[in-house]
Amino acid sequence: MGNLEPNSPLKERISLALNNEFLRNAVKFTTERLRKGKQTATDELGNWEEWRSYGQAIRMHTIAHLDYYLSQFVNNVRAAGGFVHFASTAREAVEIAMKIMEAKQAKSVVKSKSMVSEEVHINQALEEKGIEVVETDLGEYIIQLAGETPSHIIIPAIHKNKKQIAELLSQVAGEPLPADTAILAGFVRSKLREKFLSADIGITGCNFAIAESGSIVLFSNEGNARMVSTLPKTQITMMGMERIIPTWEDLEVMATLLPRAATGQKLTVYMSAITGPKRSEDGDGPEELHIIIIDNGRSNQLGDPEFQEVLNCIRCGACLNACPVYRHVGGHAYGWVYSGPIGAVLTPVLQAEKEKWGEVANASSLCGACYEACPVKIPLHDMLVYLRRRNVEQGTTKKREQWGMKVFQKVASSHKRYRLAIKAGRIGQKFVARKGEIKAKIGPLKKWTAHRTAPALAPRSFREMWQDLQQQQTQIELDPTIQKRMEEMLKKRGDQHESEQK
């Protein structure tokens, strides 16, 4: 979806998701499973907070010195016999990949899961040239058959049920397949086996790139990333330019954090470190390795104190599983390849046309659960606030909202106007308030009352009550010992408060 427009407005996407009961249950179940898995795995490991801090420190340092580490990586890839290409934009990345296709006269491509390739929309370009492209991660394969996009970074076909999957695969098989997981997975295994063995080119993503040796590291559970990087004669790896870590020692930290945060595993079934193409004497592995290093909006975050840390992300999806908003609406409501809290931040900052995407920042309750869940401690909730502020400053918020905020500021900043407004409200609510609640779905409260009741304004405000309360209080004679104790306590509390502020 390069720089395309979101296919429908955010509200429509959300209401679509909320009305799909299977999706809601599946998202809830999956996120709960992954979250619990993470909890168990991190408890079992111990010292999770310290591991997080180490992960954060390594990522921060790498990004702050990215030019050095990236160039070290590039030199080492070349020394190992690989090709490196640089793409500033999604379009450039696609152009480079298509040139390689042309040079290799490629007719078929197998792909292992790669978010960055979703981001640049390589599949579309390949299909336009008549090159067959097959997603080989089981979930990705299913949604490719359905013509959809991933709804979860780790479990992309979370929104499809077994029956729907059986129907999709039956079409491929040319015969009806039962809705049985083992049979369906077995069918995909044998179908994709043919594809792996006959494909001209394998495209992979890259979880980490090690600067000191020019190695790329891939994590997978099914083994498809290994297939794609072992069987075709040419391998293309697409990597976001921020995927770098300096050393092999740092890999141990990332390998400790990523699988536990993503699925609660101690390690994914496969972790592959690939350094250059196959050696001349090797019997398998790619003869040619091309690594395309992609910027596509990432460099705009560098040097920006509010957003640079978003480049620390290791794409584990833990923030999705923790997010109360994601857990209700799932990934498609976010409208682009990245969903959940990380998607709400990444989407507007990676897209050129910010005004079209900025509103996803509103799909957040700002509770901070994403930050708590993040294995490299990215302050996502702060970034969502910054994004909202930017939306306001750039005037991309809706006119009505802007006007509303101005009115509120006017009213709330003067006690006279505020009191007047409350009085007016109390008169107005007489028509709709019943037993202290407003249920009527009309007027300015409609958006709230459509889904829940609103509390009615109290007959007397606290301000009004205070005058009586104060009088009553002065009339009461306090026991002198209690009075003394209270004064001491107040004094102490005051001191404490001041020392906290220092």
Partner 1 sequence: MNPNRSEEILKELERKAKEKEETFFQHIANRLGRPRLHTPPIQPVRGVPSFWRQYHLDFEERISLFMANWENLGGVAKRFGCKEDLVTFIRNEAETMQAKKLIRWQHPVLEQLEIEKTLPKADVTIWKESNREQLLQKAAEADIGIVVADYAIAHTGTVVVLSGATKGRSVSLLPTALMAIIRTEDVKTKMGEVLAVIQKRNGPSMPAGIHFITGPSRSSDIENDLTIGVHGPGIVYALLLDE
- The Cα 19–Cα 336 span in angstroms is 20
Report the nearest approach of partner 1 to the CB of residue 162 (Å): 5
- The Cα 239–Cα 103 span in angstroms is 21
Among 281, 479, 498, 500, binds partner 1 (CB under 8 A): 281
Task: Name residues contacting partner 1, limited to 3-32 (CB under 8 A).
Answer: 26, 29-30
Query: Nearer to partner 1 by C-beta: 261 or 360?
Result: 261
Report the nearest approach of partner 1 to the CB of residue 58 (Å): 6
Task: Name residues contacting partner 1, limited to 187-216 (CB under 8 A).
Answer: 188-189, 192-193, 196-197, 213, 215
- The Cα 290–Cα 106 span in angstroms is 14
Task: Name residues contacting partner 1, limited to 349-368 (CB under 8 A).
Answer: none
Among 19, 21, 43, 50, binds partner 1 (CB under 8 A): 50
3-state class (DSSP) for residue 34: helix
Pairing between β-strand 108-111 and β-strand 201-204 as defined by DSSP bridges: parallel
308: tokens are: 């640079």
Residue type, 293: I
Report the nearest approach of partner 1 to the CB of residue 270 (Å): 6
Q: Which residues pair with 216 in a beta bridge?
A: 209, 274
58: tokens are: 């390594």
End-to-end C-alpha distance for the chain, whole angstroms: 49
Query: Nearer to partner 1 by C-beta: 11 or 99?
Result: 99
Q: Say whether residue 177 binds partner 1 (CB under 8 A).
A: no
Task: Give yes or no for a contact between 90 and 63, defined as CB atoms under 8 angstroms apart.
Answer: no
Which helix H or strand E contains 465, and what residues bound it? helix 462-475
Query: Nearer to partner 1 by C-beta: 172 or 197?
Result: 197
28: tokens are: 């809830």
192: tokens are: 């994709």
Closest CA to 334 of 308, 374, 364, 372: 364
Query: Nearer to partner 1 by C-beta: 201 or 231?
Result: 231
Query: Nearer to partner 1 by C-beta: 241 or 374?
Result: 241
Q: Say whether residue 285 binds partner 1 (CB under 8 A).
A: yes
Among 8, 40, 71, 171, binds partner 1 (CB under 8 A): 71
Among 24, 121, 223, 437, binds partner 1 (CB under 8 A): 223
* Burial call 360-377: b when 16+ CB within 10 Å, e when fewer: bbebbeeebbbbebbbbb
Task: Name residues contacting partner 1, limited to 81-140 (CB under 8 A).
Answer: 83-86, 88, 96, 99-100, 102-105, 136-139
E strand intervals along 132-278:
132-135, 201-204, 208-210, 215-220, 234-240, 244-245, 270-275
Q: Say whether residue 77 binds partner 1 (CB under 8 A).
A: no
Angle at 13 between CA 166 and CA 36, to 5 degrees: 65
Task: Give yes or no for a contact between 138 and 222, defined as CB atoms under 8 angstroms apart.
Answer: yes
Q: Say whether residue 384 binds partner 1 (CB under 8 A).
A: no
Query: Nearer to partner 1 by C-beta: 189 or 441?
Result: 189
Among 1, 54, 204, 397, binds partner 1 (CB under 8 A): 54
Q: Is the dihedral of CA 411, 412, 414, 420 positive or negative?
A: positive
Q: Say whether residue 302 binds partner 1 (CB under 8 A).
A: yes
- The Cα 390–Cα 22 span in angstroms is 36
Q: How many helices (H) and strands (E) does the chain have?
A: 23, 13
Report the nearest approach of partner 1 to the CB of residue 121 (Å): 20
Phi/psi for 142 (5° steps) reads -60, -45
Query: Nearer to partner 1 by C-beta: 96 or 438?
Result: 96
Q: Write the DSSP symbol of residue 147.
A: T
Query: Nearer to partner 1 by C-beta: 308 or 453?
Result: 308
Report the nearest approach of partner 1 to the CB of residue 79 (Å): 8
Closest CA to 357 of 369, 347, 368: 347
Query: Nearer to partner 1 by C-beta: 109 or 360?
Result: 109
Q: Which residues pair with 239 in a beta bridge?
A: 293
Q: Say whether residue 279 binds partner 1 (CB under 8 A).
A: yes
Binding-site size, partner 1 (CB under 8 A): 103
Report the nearest approach of partner 1 to the CB of residue 188 (Å): 7
Query: Nearer to partner 1 by C-beta: 215 or 391?
Result: 215
Q: Say whether residue 347 binds partner 1 (CB under 8 A).
A: no
Among 184, 346, 376, 380, binds partner 1 (CB under 8 A): 184
Q: Which stretch binds partner 1 (CB under 8 A): 124-132, 176-184, 357-365, 472-480?
A: 176-184
Among 3, 221, 396, 453, binds partner 1 (CB under 8 A): 221
Among 118, 119, 135, 295, binds partner 1 (CB under 8 A): 295
From residue 172, alpha-carbon distances to 112, 150, 169, 176, 388 in Å are 20, 20, 5, 10, 45
Binding mask 227-266 for partner 1 (x = CB under 8 A): x-xxx---------x----xxxxxxxx-xx--------xx
